[in-house]
Amino acid sequence: MKKRILASALSAVLALSAVSCGKTDSGDANTIKIAYLPITHSLAVLEEAEELEKSSGLKVELVKYGSWSELLDALNSNRVDGASVLIELAMKSKQEGIGLKAVALGHRDGNVIIVSNDIGSAADLKGKTFAIPHRQSSHNILLNDALATAGLTINDVNVTELAPTEMPSALASGQIDGYCVAEPFGAMGVSLGAGKVLFSSEELWEDSLCCGLVLTDKYIDEHYEDAKTFVEGYKEAGNKLDKEAAKEVAKKYLSQSDEVLDISLQWISYNDLEITEDIYNTLAEKVKEYGLSDAPPAYEDFVKNDF
């Protein structure tokens, strides 16, 4: 009799445990983990994180990384559900078989070619050392576009990859002669007096793509309605993010001076963040033209606009 009572009690405990575990899993399903780097190009997702839970109950868990390689590793291994990431890196991952979808732009414009104060034109970059954050980046494409205005190619300069945080000081010390990178690091070089803007991105490449918001196929498949809510909220957040609002978010997350943020936010906007087929195909052509990839993913395979 005692054994039967003990067995019944044990069964009840196991049943309660199963119910409890189910509730925990359900709670986790209402959280989306988004990776980001602390740059102005991520401000739309940072702004949304503060508002979405209030309006929909969907919590955005922000996961900060210090480098693109660390962020990409987390994204490609499904340790996060999505990311604000260099779109060329996500394209490369997709090309290599990783299940990702680009669901929105990270921002519009917002990149500049920064050069030392003694450089007057793109022609003066011949033989100079120029830094980019990663070969798979719009910053690499913009460098190629800038050189093309003077009849030069990437073979006419010494290209080095540096961490974004190192670029302003490297320019100031003469280690490099110019750079192109996510903001606010271009603005930091200007603020320091170490360099100046040679080109803004829209002068070289109208409607240029840089960072994109991507989600994993796994998250979209398993949490479609949450993914839809997240993307819709993200685009709404971008439309509301004027320069004043963007500066408030940036001050909270980026630990930059007012002067740097004021300079940086002149160059960027966050409205209308849909990735259209025309602008994506222009990117794909540049990726092939400048040797970043010979087979970038097709728009219909990589971009999802139909939530």
CA distance 267 to 34: 25
In single-letter form, the type of residue at position 97 comes to G
CB 116 within 8 A of CB 165: no
Contacts of 42 (CB under 8 A, 6+ apart): 36, 84, 106, 211, 253
**In the chain, domain spans:** 32-108+208-302, 112-204
Tell me the mean pLDDT in the region 98-124.
Answer: 97
Closest CA to 216 of 103, 305, 100, 73: 100
Helices (H), the chain: 2-29, 43-56, 68-76, 87-95, 138-148, 167-173, 185-192, 201-204, 217-222, 224-240, 243-253, 258-264, 277-289, 299-302
pLDDT of residue 274 exceeding 60, the answer is yes
3-state secondary structure of 235: helix
In this predicted model, what pLDDT tens digit does every residue of 196-206 receive, in sequence order? 999 999 999 99
pLDDT at 49: 86
In single-letter form, the type of residue at position 126 comes to K
CA distances from 211 to 102, 116, 162, 206, 295 (A): 10, 25, 18, 15, 20
Query: What pTM, to 2 d.p., does this model score?
Result: 0.87
Q: What CATH architecture applies to the domain 112-204?
A: 3-Layer(aba) Sandwich (3.40)
CB 293 within 8 A of CB 91: yes
Percent of the chain with pLDDT over 90: 86
Tally of residues, the chain? 307
Average pLDDT, the chain: 90
- Per CATH, the number for 32-108+208-302 is 3.40.190.10
CA distance 9 to 131: 67
Q: 32-108+208-302 and 112-204 share one CATH topology?
A: yes
pLDDT of residue 50 exceeding 80, the answer is no
CA distance 67 to 133: 9
> Strand 59-64 vs strand 31-36: parallel, antiparallel, or unpaired?
parallel
In this predicted model, what pLDDT tens digit does every residue of 16-26 receive, in sequence order? 333 333 333 33
